[in-house]
Amino acid sequence: MPLTAPHTPLAVNAQWKGKSGLNLYADFVMETDAVVGQILDAIDRNLAADQTLVIFTSDNGTAPYVGALDLAKQGHYCSGPLRGYKSDVWEGGHRVPLIVRWPGHVAPKTVCDKLVHQADLMATCAAVTGAELPDSAGEDSFSLLPLLKGSDAPVRQHAVSQASSGLSGVRQGAWKLIFGPGSGGWGKGADEHPAQLYNLRRDVAETNNLFADRPDKVSELTALMARLVNDGRSTPGTAQKNAQPVNWQRFMQE
């Protein structure tokens, strides 16, 4: 169910205006939460909860133009400890909630800290329904079914993210390399280095650029990105042709 909320325009219904005590966007988030609750209640009333996998997530972080700075002044940080917002290659642009309800399969109130990607939902749904994806489909999709069942083993080792400008980043384990300076989106922030390297386990806010300190890790992640682009996929299988040329290092050349 692709909700348009809480996207702009902030079309908050009258009964929710002012409910948050913060701003109109926060009101809209509260209304969205209530709508999701209505959906879950409808599933329960129809005795379909045990047969329904519910996945709640968002396609990007909060947009800065919905009053994010005003909310921060009131002590509410839309991106939490993360740097950046929607459109940025930083974590605030892409790290979003993913909440799952699947009675009898997913243990309630459990938390998974493994790396996942929304592209994984395709292979996950295929696994849940017993469908078999052809080798040329879901080239970057890993099934999350083992994690949903409680496995502690990672299903993917790496993930690629991209800002609205095309500035790319690659994540492997705790390390993330961004192939250029700045956010690549609306976020502000200059950097003296041609690229950015962060250890997200120690520095989730991406404040300490280790590009100059860890040339070994820069080389390793650069080689990983080159392989993923050249193979046209990140899952095992036959190499696929990219639909368009991928110049992922162009921001480092400028």
Q: How many domains does the chain have?
A: 1
Amino acid 65: pLDDT: 94
For residue 59 the two structure tokens come to 């396609």
- pLDDT of 139 higher than 80: yes
Q: Does 36 fall in a domain?
A: no
- Of 81, 76, 106, residue with least CA distance to 95: 81
Q: What is the 3-state secondary structure (H, E, C) of the chain?
A: CCCCCCCCCCCCCHHHCCCCCCCHHHHHHHHHHHHHHHHHHHHHHCCCHHHCCEEEECCCCCCHHHCHHHHHHCCCCCCCCCCCCCCCCCHHHHCCCEEEECCCCCCCCCCCCCCCCCCHHHHHHHHHHCCCCCCCCCCCCCCCHHHHCCCCCCCCCEEEEECCCCCEEEEECCEEEECCCCCCCCCCCCCCCCCEEEECCCCCCCCCCCCCCCHHHHHHHHHHHHHHHHHCCCCCCCCCCCCCCCCCCHHHHC
- Least-confidence region, from 188-192, 208-212, 226-230: 188-192
Q: Position of tokens 């078999």?
A: 132
- pLDDT of 253 higher than 70: no
Q: How confident is the model at residue 252 (pLDDT cuts 50, 70, 90)?
A: confident
Q: How far lies 73's CA from each of 39, 70, 136, 226, in Å?
A: 33, 5, 48, 42
Specify the CATH number for the domain of residue 233. 3.40.720.10
Q: Does 46 fall in a domain?
A: no
Q: Does 3 fall in a domain?
A: no
Domain of 148, in residue numbers: 53-253
Render pLDDT for 170-200 as a digit per residue (tens, 0 to 9). 999 999 999 999 999 998 877 789 999 999 9
pTM above 0.85, yes or no: yes
